[in-house]
Amino acid sequence: MTRGQWFLRGMKAGVPICMGYFAVAIALGIAARSAGIGSIQAAVTSLLINASAGEYAGFSLIAVGASYIEVTVMEAVANARYLLMSASLSQKLDSTTKWWERLLLGFTVTDEIFGASIAVEGRLSPYFTYGTFVVATLGWTGGTFTGAVLGNVLSARLLSALAVGLYGMFISVFIPEAKKNKIVAVLVAVSFAASYAAEKLPFIRDISDGIRIIILTVVISLAAAIIFPVKEKGENENEG
């Protein structure tokens, strides 16, 4: 297949992702507007940061007046998984793939685009992922812009109600896994409890919201990795 054919194939795969992104990004745009970010700024942010959790975390930190360092560290933590996804996709690329094509591929990776790309049988052309990204990001950026514009014209009470949709998106991410895995369910409960306690306990409640989020994320994730390590396939076979 030529690069153009790969690109068109990727665009076709990006259509359903685009539709889903638009609906979710409206709530993200509303969150951006609530943080005092304009519609154009919100759209550019979505164009440059292809991560729902990362963007929402950034908007939340901006809303509470977090420092640049807090926002930078939180973005690095929230988006660290994309490093692993990009590394995984690089194993499917042909050895002749240029370094700048690999860098551009890493920029375009999201959870859904990674899923579509990794599902390609055999070798992957980066132009497939580029095509998927071009279509998908139209929904993501357009939805964010639309949500931010709605934030200018709708009442505060209605905006608050619509913003719940973004929380629903996050709930839909971890609930299915929590239902299948008791460890994940426990960690979710611990996270909720720890977040609530951090807002009430002396000294800790005096720390900025941004720093509290970072500390809780790192501590809970590290503890889970140590107490409940994920075993490699080879280890499970050896134990059997």
pLDDT, tens only, 177-233: 788 888 888 988 998 899 889 888 888 888 766 677 778 878 888 888 888 876 654
Residue 237 is predicted with a pLDDT of 47
199 or 43: whose pLDDT is higher?
43
First vs last Cα of the chain: how many Å apart? Answer: 43
61 or 155: whose pLDDT is higher?
61
Q: Sorting pLDDT into bands at 50, 70 and 90, what band is 170?
A: low
Q: What percent of the chain lies above the pLDDT cut of 70?
A: 85
* Contact predicate 28/60, CB 8 Å: no
Residue 208 is predicted with a pLDDT of 67
50 or 14: whose pLDDT is higher?
14
The residues spanned by each domain of the chain are: 3-164, 181-230
Q: How far apart are CA 9 and CA 105, in angstroms?
A: 16
pLDDT tens digits along 102-113: 999 999 998 888
Residue with tokens 């292809």: 50
pLDDT(68) > 50: yes
pLDDT(12) > 70: yes
Q: How far apart are CA 106 and CA 191, in angstroms?
A: 30
CB atoms within 10 A of CB 119: 9
Q: How far apart are CA 48 and CA 43, in angstroms?
A: 9
148-165: average pLDDT: 68
pTM: 0.68
Q: How far apart are CA 31 and CA 141, in angstroms?
A: 14
